[in-house]
A and B are shown apart, each in its own frame.
Chain A
């Protein structure tokens, strides 16, 4: 019951923020030069056609009228029709969400779990050889541009060795359903997930290492050690558990940006995800898609921060909702 009230409270907080986001973005798109009529009219742009397109999409109206019309439509739960594909924005977005969640979600989980584990393991002896090597390594990991890493992985594993597919999410003419299709997708996921999680891995290693090392210097850890608990138990039970809050915070932030955080990876691997869709929509001035994506994103951010708060409460008895 309390949780529900809390949830509603948070939702109400998000609404004005979402409204501001919509207005600002609407303004930005409006200020950007060029509109969809130029892109739809093509090579031999006919002024009559461009005028017809502008009229049909209401682009001939003033900025204020366009904004009011859009907000009215949003209030009725209608995200509108894509300028380019003439399909409902909601359907277009939802078609892309699973692919992105699969790629970015898997990578995030792998990066967070593996990174935290490695970071915790090396936190025990700050300054040791293992610590220095891993710390340097993790800095280089998150300094690698993901598109470059992706391309290198493709060149090595897909072009040279030909072990893995180089791009796409499914084989052309491959299996269309059942277990074989799942295997096909997993097969295509290996390289993009490897690229994305490698780049994300570094920061979790560093984050876990720093916060666990800090906790290990606390007196209750000394107490636990002197009681005679085994070192791994102290490390993971007393150390990591109390060091999790900053890690959960970063995880929550990234979770919120999950849907758009993989544009470059999606581009390099020709992954049919949401990030690429938004990028293309921006280039084509497909306002309904861009705005729809912003709205979906503000809700993911809200859900992620809600989840973070709940995780806080579960992890730290001092925090209550």
Chain B
């Protein structure tokens, strides 16, 4: 009995004490990691823990919305040859793996070679690579098959997902990055070391005192799977977490009350994505430009923002988003809201109102994002107002995606990407582009896009991209609605979270907690 009492007492006493001595940051996550080896497959739950354990050659974080498409992680700097084909990356000196062995250019080459060989997801960003050479331990020379200005920004963006650099000395005997003892006991070179994974409960990391950018201010970093958003919010309110990531964003209608609370910081971060609608230009009647113009004129973005986003989302009227200032063409805009004009255009196009007051039927679908749901609900109403018999059609995410790929849709909410490099236009709107579900095909547009990615001068590139935006607004395969905006919460005086400005260009990936500082540090 005495024994039991003393153990209990020891438990109650020592636990809070040891917690006090250290700064612990607990981060809730919707999904649990599948593995802790991020390179072989997409794994939304694994990105955050592994981005803090591993390093990358180059990275991008939320600073992309303030004009930083890429910055060096393991690479301190890089040079581009005058012809734009040869990239020379200079690695930071004295970088060590968590097991104490030095990290060299050979590790980078080993990782990239294996990704290409195994066709891992990141290989898509290395498609244009001709050779990878390592003249010395600190230098990686990558030669491209053709000039591609989007190479580094795209590598940097995807590094946060599946582009971690692995230690050659531990992995060289494994047939792939998905087998062996280091899959779930990762040895990286990042700001935090792996400690333990209790499946279903937590992944625990500890600060790496030898990290090349200095020891993080957080001593223990813990990721907890909390699948229920209401529970995560309740636990944030109970001060169990100093930070609530955007996955758990509160309903925007509650934001005013949160902003009035001095103990909470509400951060809005507009991203480099838009929320827009794609129109299936290969299907009647959306193949008719007049119909697309009418749809564009039927949309009242202000009402949409008010009804769906408590007025907190900013309408986007150009074929880009405000966070990509250097590339946006503000001289051309999507048709303004004008119900009369929309009705007139539909009449002209040969779709008069029928006996029931409706002109034609249209199915409105979208991904299972809450913002798309909010947009679609209002959109359906606005289309009905001009006589389009619109109906909502909701699918689970992978069904929706499959249907988009099959071009089996009328109108769909979508998330067009504009950064970190404007070459993204080709993916979305180029003929046969991977995300061109609209069936848009414009040889002139394709030609400009192919040329723009090879120009090394930013001003020359911008000129071409601005021309391409003119075409998009003329042809209307899609209609931009909003700049996507993330909402996240933090306790007062905490700084350096990835979505806060104080975390820009320092977070090391979208999910990095290296820059986080608790109050008073």
Residue ranges of A at the interface with B (Cβ–Cβ < 8 Å): 32-34, 38-46, 48-49, 52-53, 84-86, 95-96, 99, 147, 151, 154-155, 158-159, 162, 166-175, 178-180, 183-184, 267-273, 276-277, 280, 283, 285
Contacts and interface: CB of A to CB of B under 8 A. Distances in A.
A39 B201 contact: no
B42 A85 contact: no
A267 B227 contact: yes
B306 interface: no
Q: Kindly list the 5 A-B residue pairs having the minimum CB-CB distance in the complex, ordered from nearest.
A: A272-B200, A42-B42, A34-B398, A40-B41, A46-B124
B198 interface: yes
29 contacts: A32-B399, A34-B396, A41-B42, A42-B162, A49-B119, A49-B124, A86-B35, A86-B178, A86-B179, A96-B200, A154-B231, A158-B234, A159-B237, A166-B240, A167-B226, A172-B204, A172-B224, A174-B11, A180-B8, A183-B11, A267-B227, A267-B228, A269-B231, A270-B231, A271-B200, A272-B199, A272-B200, A280-B32, A285-B398
Nearest to A38: B398
B235 interface: yes
A129 B201 CA distance: 46
Contact of B238 (A38, A42, A159, A179): A159
B220 A168 contact: no
Given A33-B398, A270-B228, A180 B158 contact: no
B238 A158 contact: yes
A283 B201 CA distance: 20
A166 to B, nearest CB: 5
Nearest to A42: B42
Interface in B425-481: 434
Contacts of B230: 151
Interface in B173-205: 178-179, 183, 198-202, 204
Interface residues of B, number: 57
Contact of B402 (A38, A159, A271, A277): A38
A281 B158 CA distance: 25
Contacts of A33: 398-399, 402-403
Interface string B115-127: 0001111011100
A170 B201 CA distance: 7
Interface stretch (B18-26, B66-74, B145-153, B346-354): B18-26
A151 B231 contact: yes
Interface of B: 4, 7-8, 10-11, 15, 18-19, 24, 26, 31-32, 34-35, 41-43, 118-121, 123-125, 158, 161-162, 178-179, 183, 198-202, 204, 220, 222, 224-228, 230-231, 234-235, 237-238, 240, 396, 398-399, 401-403, 434
A86 B222 contact: no
B114 to A, nearest CB: 14
A273 B200 contact: yes
A166 B231 contact: yes
Contacts of B402: 33-34, 38
A16 to B, nearest CB: 33
A45 B125 CA distance: 11
A175 B43 CA distance: 30
Nearest to B401: A38
A45 B41 CA distance: 10
Given A46-B124, A49-B120, A173-B204, A40 B10 contact: no
Nearest to B236: A159
Contacts of A170: 198, 201
A22 B28 CA distance: 36
B178 A154 contact: no
Contact of A167 (B120, B235, B396): B235
Contacts of A95: 199
A281 to B, nearest CB: 10
